[in-house]
Amino acid sequence: MVGPDPHVAAARVAVRRTVQSLGLGGQFLLVGCSGGADSLALAAAAGFVVPRLGGTVGAVVVDHGLQPGSARVAEKAAAQCRQLGLAPVQVLTVTVTRAGEGPESAARDARYAALTEAARAHGAAAVLLGHTRDDQAEQVLLGLARGSGARSLAGMPVARPAGPGAVIQIVRPLLTVSRTQTEGACRALGLSTWTDPHNTDPGFARVRARALLPVLEGALGPGISAALARSADLLRDDADALDAAARTAYEQLGEPPWPVSRLVDLPVAVRRRVWRELALGAGSPSGALSAEHLRAVDDLVTGWRGQGPVDLPGGLRVHRRAGLVSLLDRTP
């Protein structure tokens, strides 16, 4: 008996393992589909696997309206999802506000908000996204280039809540599957894929990182993408442990001001996470809070020279006075 194409099988195995490991069998799931090879391969795999695990699966196609013909692309992606047996399939048009960290970030925020709202409206347990092992490798490479910490280098998790306290999960079943495999799966299934013009625009850092991976493969040997993805998995375990230690320390410290004597004995990796928790809890935007900010705050404990307060994004100020570290709102 002849089995499915190897690329199709790889996607199906990845979806089956993820759905089962997260306890999502028997539930209604939504696939976020753009019409690209990755998300169409995911839609095909989910359409085959999820019903066999006792669940149902639909799809949401988000039209960002950023390119001519985007509505046509969205409708074509939706039609293919329906042909793959997914139901219901919905096209959502969003408005992208070109502000903040850039158009790509704004489009991502609008897309995630639309997908989460659709999942809530349909009663879905999770939204499945088509990020692959190559996307994970690019994420790690960008983190290395930016000098980011362990959490950034840990890449994308397989599953996370859609928001603070959310029951709906954002799930990435294809992080063990390569982009070559998703493209091969689409060819084998006769699916017509769309290529986002942004994926070849060198104005985006992720596109430049993508172009570097073949160069690294040539210089260091094959398997770079897989190695970077494995590194992300290992670092995620470390980052999770450090985050848990920081949360415990934060809870034990209570509300600031905090005595320097209680902070100085914390491991530096834990203490800087405590600073981050403090700042985010007070309203500092996570995307604007940098390692330099956290290092400057930490110097109030470990490098005290009588320096002035440290300003943080979000109108916050941390200062040391009389052996105590305090957080103030510096906005009028």
Integer angstrom CA distances of residue 308 from 105, 250, 251: 34, 24, 27
For the beta sheet containing 169-171, the strands, ordered from the edge strand earlier in sequence to the opposite edge, are 89-93, 56-63, 28-32, 126-128, 169-171, 159-161
Using DSSP's 3-state secondary structure scheme, residue 93 falls into strand
What phi and psi, each to the nearest 5 degrees, are found at residue 121? -65, -35
Whether 26 contacts 60, CB under 8 Å: no
User: Is 39 labelled a binding residue?
Assistant: yes
Torsion angle in degrees (nearest 10) through CA of 251, 255, 257, 263: 0
B/e letters for 20-30, b = 16+ CB within 10 Å, e = fewer, are: eebebbebbbb
317 forms beta bridges with 311, 328
Q: Is 83 exposed, middle or buried (0-12, 13-18, 19+ CB in 10 A)?
A: middle
User: Is 37 labelled a binding residue?
Assistant: yes
Integer angstrom CA distances of residue 32 from 40, 46, 116, 129, 177: 9, 11, 10, 5, 17
Query: How many other CB atoms are there within 10 angstroms of residue 280's CB atom?
Result: 14
User: Is 34 labelled a binding residue?
Assistant: yes
User: Is 244 labelled a binding residue?
Assistant: no
User: Is 59 labelled a binding residue?
Assistant: no
Q: How many CA atoms lie within 13 A of 229 on its CB side?
A: 19
Distance separating alpha carbons of residues 174 and 14, to the nearest angstrom: 6
User: Is 178 labelled a binding residue?
Assistant: no
Instruction: Cite the annotated binding site for ATP by residue number.
Output: 34-39
Instruction: Cite the annotated binding site by residue number.
Output: 34-39
